[in-house]
Amino acid sequence: MATNKLLRSTKFIGVFSIMLICALSANAQFLRTSYFMEGTHYRQQLNPALTPTKGYFNLPVIGAVNATVGSTSLGYQDIIDIIDDGDEFYTKPDFMNRLKDNNKLNVNFSTEILSAGWYKGKNFWSFNIGLRTDIGANLTKKMFTFLNEMDGIEDNWRNSNYDISNQQLNINAYAEVGLGLSRQINSRLTVGARVKALLGIGNMELKLNNIAMNANLPTNQEITNWSSASYWDNLSPQEAIKQATELKAKFNNYHANLNVGAELKSSFKGLELKEEEGKDYVTDFDFDSGKLGIAGYGFGIDLGASYKIMDNLTVSASILDLGFISWSKSSTKIASANPDPIDIQGRKYADMVNPSDPQASITNALNQLDADTKDYMELVTKGDVLNYDMLQLEVGDAKESRKSRLASTLVVGAEYGFFNNKLAVGALSTTRFVQPDALTELTFSANYRPKSWFNVALSYSVIQSAGKSFGLGLKLGPVFLGTDYMFLGKNSNSVNGFVGVSIPLGGRKVNKQG
């Protein structure tokens, strides 16, 4: 059992380590705090109609570096506990109490390899080459309870009822080449659009749709007692017959059931699904970064508009990342898990009990039951979500290319300006349709923007951080620093930070719209 525990924790830690590594190098898709900062061009990531006061050239790669990680329940200290405590983190009551029925983790990142924007007449043009990745995971509390209780009681698998279905992992990574155009139609209305050619790096969908187990079996102590000669020697013939009859009825209620259903869709060059010799299902994942390449092609578009209702009041809206990627058949692997269920019924062993020969028949029935439940025991006591032997994912050939949609975002904002528009307050709603569930945020901000080279903003986002964090944005010359979720301690559920460095291009926009 100790070996199983070590294997279980090692694989579980491995999954979280991958997610954590992604998070530490992650760059968020956009920064909400920048939305009403007129002097910065980064707000165009949220609405292509929101032009900056000057053109720009972002320094390659470091021109827009941002990291964001969000979870509905797991905080900073939980991640540290996972790393520091190994297989002990899920045994802590505080950790278990923080979990919700469904615990979601989202990591969204991007980086601009090359990007620039410039004014030409009433038009503002922009160009970018960037990398984008979305990672989403859903882990249920029942899964952590399963891990906890399987560790806590040595013989717990003999009398158990667990349903750890509905675990999910989604990864989407691609490069984009975009061309944007924003045009001031009149003194009140500005519209913008960005078209993007997409180069798919990889996409994965892993769904553990059904993992349910249920058992009612004799304990080790009962097996030892009922198989012992001394147990029967102490009974008279009539008592032995009576005891055998009672055990026969008890045996009839014994059972062990395990049902598994899962599916994997992967389009990653360099990702190999390994099979051990003698096994016809996936036993390991192997990734060769040297084989990484373009696995698909797609198209995307961003649309936005800004309208000045009155001199001091402006409303705006956009829809981002409308599009898809078509993944090539040659890069796609499909695997499904529908192994024959384990269905052990007690009546088989009850029928083996002969009251006229109680000791021998009961011992034979127990030996047979113990042998038949060995596979069940070996599978469930691993207690591992990525238990390859339990899942038995069988790889099949992809019959055609597959498509995945982008994580689209709906953005709606409104701002009111004071003191010749140098000070403004704003409200911003964003809904990002990531997997497994959409992320909605409501952000309020106050913005001071006296010069194109100096903007500062303070924001408060109320949903993803459970109202326990705030944001800051500062543009000082070519440098921009920002965060939507300030790190405020060990239980912060959402954290991010943004650093951008750009070179101004062109003169100030004439007759600029607020």
207 contact partners, CB below 8 Å, separation of at least 6: 167, 168, 262, 263, 264
**Domain-located, residue 238:** no
User: In the 3-class helix/strand/coil scheme, how is 124-140 assigned residue by residue?
Assistant: EEEEEEEEEEEEEEEEE
**Domain-located, residue 449:** yes
**Rounded distance, CA 289 to CA 351, Å?**
57
**Rounded distance, CA 62 to CA 39, Å?**
19
Backbone dihedral region for residue 401 (phi beyond 0: left; psi -120 to 50: alpha; all else: beta): beta
Strands (E), 36-101: 55-58, 65-71
**Domain-located, residue 345:** no
pLDDT by residue for the chain (514 residues), tens digit each? 434 443 343 344 344 444 333 333 333 457 899 999 988 899 999 999 999 888 999 988 878 877 777 777 777 667 666 555 555 666 777 778 888 888 887 777 788 899 999 999 889 999 999 988 878 888 888 888 887 777 655 677 888 898 989 888 888 899 999 999 999 999 899 999 999 999 999 998 888 899 899 999 998 888 888 988 888 888 888 988 999 999 999 999 999 999 999 898 889 887 788 888 778 888 887 777 777 889 999 999 999 999 999 989 999 999 999 999 999 988 888 888 878 889 999 999 999 999 889 889 999 999 999 899 988 888 888 756 567 888 888 887 777 888 888 889 999 999 999 988 899 999 999 998 876 677 789 999 999 999 888 999 999 988 877 777 899 999 999 999 999 988 777 677 777 888 889 998 875 555 444 3
Per-residue burial over 103-115, b if 16 or more Cβ lie within 10 Å, else e, is: bbbbbbbbbbbeb
Q: 367 φ, ψ to 5°?
A: -60, -40
Question: Hey, which residues does 66 pair with through a beta bridge?
Answer: 498
Q: Do you find a cis peptide bond into 450, omega within 30 degrees of 0?
A: no
**Rounded distance, CA 24 to CA 232, Å?**
64
Q: What is the largest CA-CA distance in the chain?
A: 107
* Residue pair 139/78 in contact by the 8 Å Cβ criterion: no
Identify the pLDDT of residue 37.
93
Cα separations (Å) of 292 from 134, 199, 264, 287, 454? 18, 12, 19, 9, 42
Identify the pLDDT of residue 383.
59
Identify the pLDDT of residue 107.
77
**Domain-located, residue 356:** no
Identify the pLDDT of residue 3.
40
**Rounded distance, CA 298 to CA 295, Å?**
11
Segment (H or E) for 16: helix 2-24
**Domain-located, residue 375:** no
Domain that holds residue 322: 2-217+254-339+392-505
**Domain-located, residue 233:** no
* Residue pair 144/56 in contact by the 8 Å Cβ criterion: no
Identify the pLDDT of residue 214.
93
Residue among 48, 133, 67 at smallest CA distance from 484: 67
Strands (E), 52-155: 55-58, 65-71, 102-120, 123-140
How many domains are there within the chain? Answer: 1
* Residue pair 381/365 in contact by the 8 Å Cβ criterion: no
Identify the pLDDT of residue 459.
95
Helix, coil or strand: residue 104: strand
Q: What is the DSSP letter of 288?
A: -
**Domain-located, residue 210:** yes
Q: 98 φ, ψ to 5°?
A: -80, -20
- Strands 102-120 vs 123-140: parallel, antiparallel or unpaired: antiparallel
* Residue pair 126/43 in contact by the 8 Å Cβ criterion: no
**Rounded distance, CA 135 to CA 143, Å?**
20
Both tokens of 499, joined, read: 């650093």
**Rounded distance, CA 200 to CA 401, Å?**
13
**Domain-located, residue 385:** no
Identify the pLDDT of residue 455.
94
